Each structure stands twice: as structure tokens, then as C-alpha cells.
Copies of this chain bind each other. A is one copy, B any other.
């Protein structure tokens, strides 16, 4: 096999390289996950260094900071969406919706660093952010549908409306006494939906 620069490379060697690259990539993700949860503003240079990898390697795998954060985000979000279906299977729709919101708040508070790292500079309206949120939006839609079915939630509001109304969670201090404030927020929003 001929590499891009015309050097002869054995197929075995190519596989080794691929495997190594995959390991580098997942190692970078792991290190970045820890670093970004602690400090969402951590520098890419610091992440590369802490992963024991050249800065160029980080850029090779993740061309932009958003690419890196998005990759971390995706797994978390999928899990969160899955929780909605689990709750719907176990509980009455009204209870499931409320419990899911509580879980959502826990998630936001736990991952505050990661989430805020997704902000492009300042605001969070980017293609990637919306893409990352799509499974969550769909999950909420299922929760709302179940509640509409039993007349617990009126029609006319969408999952995105609910998400917008709970965006304030990101501005609560994870180190502070956020639980009562989150509870009141949910009380307010759920009352609006009924």
C-alpha cells in the first residue's frame, strides 16, 4: 500500500496506525471530558498536554473546540433522552414528566461546565448545539404526547417551548442552593402547560 507521500507501508502497519489513532482519539475524549467538566474554559493546549499529545494531534481529531465538546455532549444527551422512555414505562405520564425534569436539572447542574463550553463564545444557538439537543427535544415531545393523551397537558406548546422556558437552569449556580429554585421553575412551567 502506498501512503499519501508515496512511501511503501504494509497493510499491517496501516491497521496499526488506525488502531493507534482510534486510541489517541478516545484518550483525548476521556481527558477532555474530565478537564472540561472541571473548567469549561480550559485551553486546548492544556488538554493536549494533559493527554500527553501534541497540540497538532488534538486539532487533527477535533478541528474546532465545538467539535470536541459536541462529541462529549452527544453521549450524555442520548442517555438523558433514554431516561424519558424508561420513566414513561414505569410511571403515570404526569409523574414521568416531572421526574424527567428533575433528572434534567441534575444533569444540567452536573455537566454545567461541559454545557457552557458548548456556547459559541457567548450564546448557544449553533447548528451543533441544536443537533446535540435534538434527541432531548424528541424525548420531551414523547412525554408531552403521553400527557396530552390523558388531558394533563394542553395542546399548543411544543417540546422546544418547554426547553426554552427551562434554559434558566444553566444560569443557576451548581455550587449553590439551586434545588428550590429549579423546583419553582418547574412548578411555574408545568402550571403553564396544564
Contacts and interface: CB of A to CB of B under 8 A. Distances in A.
19 contacts: A40-B121, A40-B122, A41-B121, A112-B123, A116-B121, A116-B123, A125-B172, A125-B173, A125-B176, A157-B187, A157-B188, A161-B188, A164-B181, A165-B185, A165-B188, A167-B171, A188-B192, A189-B189, A190-B192
B119 A122 contact: yes
Interface string A163-194: 11111101111001000010011011111110
A157 B161 CA distance: 20
Contacts of A181: 160-161, 164
A92 interface: no
Contacts of A173: 123, 125
Nearest to A185: B164
